[in-house]
Every structure is written in structure tokens, then in C-alpha cells.
């Protein structure tokens, strides 16, 4: 097995009989992703998925969920696993507050936002879907958890989403979160109000944060 000390680019510079073997390519991909391997990664590299079988049999990688494997060095965050299953979703609302450190309450049923038309049949019991017809990508960012990257709305979009009239927000989480935001050195109030204005909740936002600034 190639050592995981080497970087991905270095691994691909190594030649075995003029070319890397599929095993080496797979391990290089896993290393680049902090020991996590998706079958979609393998397919994108034009490697037959059958090449995974001997690696599993030898204990080099182990399946943790359909289509997801880890090496001994790998650790898979639960939020990463869920998003790997539902890659079109974006963590939002109270779940986004938690992921950004603005809520101490870990979600029992994570909340993800999807584009209108997305089938939610397979999501029952796995997550709470929120469907939007537009502005899905506004405020979408990528954050890292335990070496894996997940997609979540930024804190401004997350706070604004909680004030939308069609969403029954948990204000026991929203109020402490807006207070933390107001006290944060990283707050961007102009960005917050631009987002609130865009979604028609600027007056509501002013009610909650106005006295805190």
C-alpha cells in the first residue's frame, strides 16, 4: 500500500510499470479526501468500481454506507455522510446555526434545503427537507468538519431563513443565535440586512437585532 504521507500529486507522479495501478489511484483519491472515498470519485477518475472489491476484501478500505468507504486513517462526519446521500441539499435553518457554532443544540433531524421539484420520498426519517423555488444558491458556502467539506448556508442567510413566515422557527435557538451574532467580531450587519431585504423580512430582522447593536 502506498504511504498516506505522500500528497495526492506526488502519488500520481509515481509510476509502476509506466502507469499507476487502479489500487494506487484509488488510495491517492482517498488520501486527497482525508481518507474518505466515494464511488462517484472512482467513476469520475474512470476507474472501474470493481477495483474497489479487492481493497475491501483486503481490509484496505471499509464501507460505512452505500457508496462511501474509508481507510484506517479516515473519519467520516455524520453530516458529511448525510450530504453524500443527498448531495443536492444545503444544510440550513437551525442545523446551520449549529454547524456555524451559533447553537449548542445538535439537531435530532438535520434540516436541508432543496430546489423545488426534488423528490423527498427517501428523506423521511433521515432529515427535514425545506423546498424553495428560487434563490437556492444564495448564501451557499462550504465549510470543513473533521477534514471533510460540507455545504451549508452562511450565518446571515441562516438567520434570515428562520424569520420567513412560512417557516416555523425554533425561537429558543434563534434568539440566542441572534445575540451571539450581534456580539460577534465577524458579523456583517450590512450583509445580514441585504439578505433580509431580499427575502422580505428586513422589518422583522430589525425588531430582533436593532437593540443589540
Residue 184, domain extent: 78-212
Last residue of a domain, one of 53, 70, 87: 70
82 in the same domain as 29: no
39 in the same domain as 65: yes
pLDDT, one tens digit per residue, over 11-26 is: 444 444 457 898 889 9
117 in the same domain as 187: yes
183: alpha, beta or left? (left if phi > 0; alpha if psi -120 to 50): alpha
118 in the same domain as 98: yes
Q: What is the pLDDT of residue 38?
A: 87
In a domain, 167, yes or no: yes
Q: What is the pLDDT of residue 2?
A: 33
Q: What is the pLDDT of residue 145?
A: 86
22 in the same domain as 53: yes
94 in the same domain as 128: yes
In sequence order, the 6+-apart residues with CB closer than 8 A to the CB of 26 are 37, 42, 47, 51, 52, 55, 61
In a domain, 1, yes or no: no
In a domain, 116, yes or no: yes
Q: What is the pLDDT of residue 36?
A: 84
Q: What is the pLDDT of residue 9?
A: 40
What is the reported pTM?
0.80
89 in the same domain as 51: no
In a domain, 52, yes or no: yes
Q: What is the pLDDT of residue 68?
A: 87
Q: What is the pLDDT of residue 175?
A: 96
Q: What is the pLDDT of residue 65?
A: 82
Last residue of a domain, one of 19, 37, 70: 70
In a domain, 3, yes or no: no
Number of domains in the chain: 2
CA distance 182 to 91: 22
CA geometry: angle at 175 spanning 172 and 177, to 5°? 105
The segments of the chain whose pLDDT lies below 50 read 1-17
- Residue 140 cell numbers, joined: 451557499
102 in the same domain as 48: no
In a domain, 102, yes or no: yes
Last residue of a domain, one of 27, 43, 70: 70
In a domain, 2, yes or no: no
100 in the same domain as 56: no
204 in the same domain as 144: yes
Q: What is the pLDDT of residue 210?
A: 86
190 in the same domain as 106: yes
92 in the same domain as 55: no
Judging by beta carbons within 10 Å of its beta carbon (0-12, 13-18, 19+), is residue 99 exposed, middle or buried?
A: buried
> Could you tell me if 210 and 179 are in contact, meaning their C-beta atoms sit under 8 angstroms apart?
no
Amino acid at each position: 500500500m502506498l504511504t498516506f504521507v505522500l500528497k495526492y500529486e506526488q502519488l500520481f507522479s509515481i509510476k509502476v510499470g509506466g502507469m499507476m495501478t487502479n489500487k494506487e489511484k484509488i488510495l491517492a483519491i482517498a488520501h486527497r479526501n482525508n481518507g474518505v472515498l466515494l464511488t462517484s470519485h472512482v467513476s469520475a477518475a474512470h476507474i472501474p468500481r470493481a477495483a474497489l472489491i479487492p481493497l475491501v476484501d483486503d481490509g484496505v478500505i471499509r464501507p460505512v454506507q452505500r457508496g462511501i468507504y474509508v481507510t484506517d486513517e479516515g473519519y467520516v462526519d455524520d453530516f458529511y455522510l448525510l450530504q453524500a446521500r443527498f448531495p443536492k441539499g444545503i444544510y440550513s435553518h437551525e442545523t446551520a446555526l449549529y454547524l456555524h457554532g451559533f447553537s449548542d443544540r445538535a439537531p435530532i433531524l438535520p434540516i436541508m434545503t432543496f430546489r423545488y421539484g426534488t423528490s423527498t420520498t427517501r428523506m423521511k426519517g433521515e432529515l427535514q427537507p425545506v423546498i424553495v423555488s428560487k434563490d437556492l444558491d444564495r448564501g451557499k458556502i462550504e465549510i470543513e468538519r473533521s477534514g471533510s467539506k460540507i455545504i451549508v448556508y452562511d450565518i446571515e442567510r441562516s438567520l434570515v431563513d428562520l424569520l420567513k413566515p412560512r417557516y416555523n422557527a425554533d425561537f429558543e435557538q434563534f434568539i440566542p443565535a441572534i445575540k451571539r451574532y450581534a456580539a460577534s467580531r465577524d458579523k456583517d450587519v450590512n450583509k445580514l440586512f441585504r439578505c433580509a431585504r431580499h427575502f422580505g423580512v428586513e422589518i422583522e430582522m430589525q425588531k430582533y437585532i436593532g437593540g443589540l447593536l
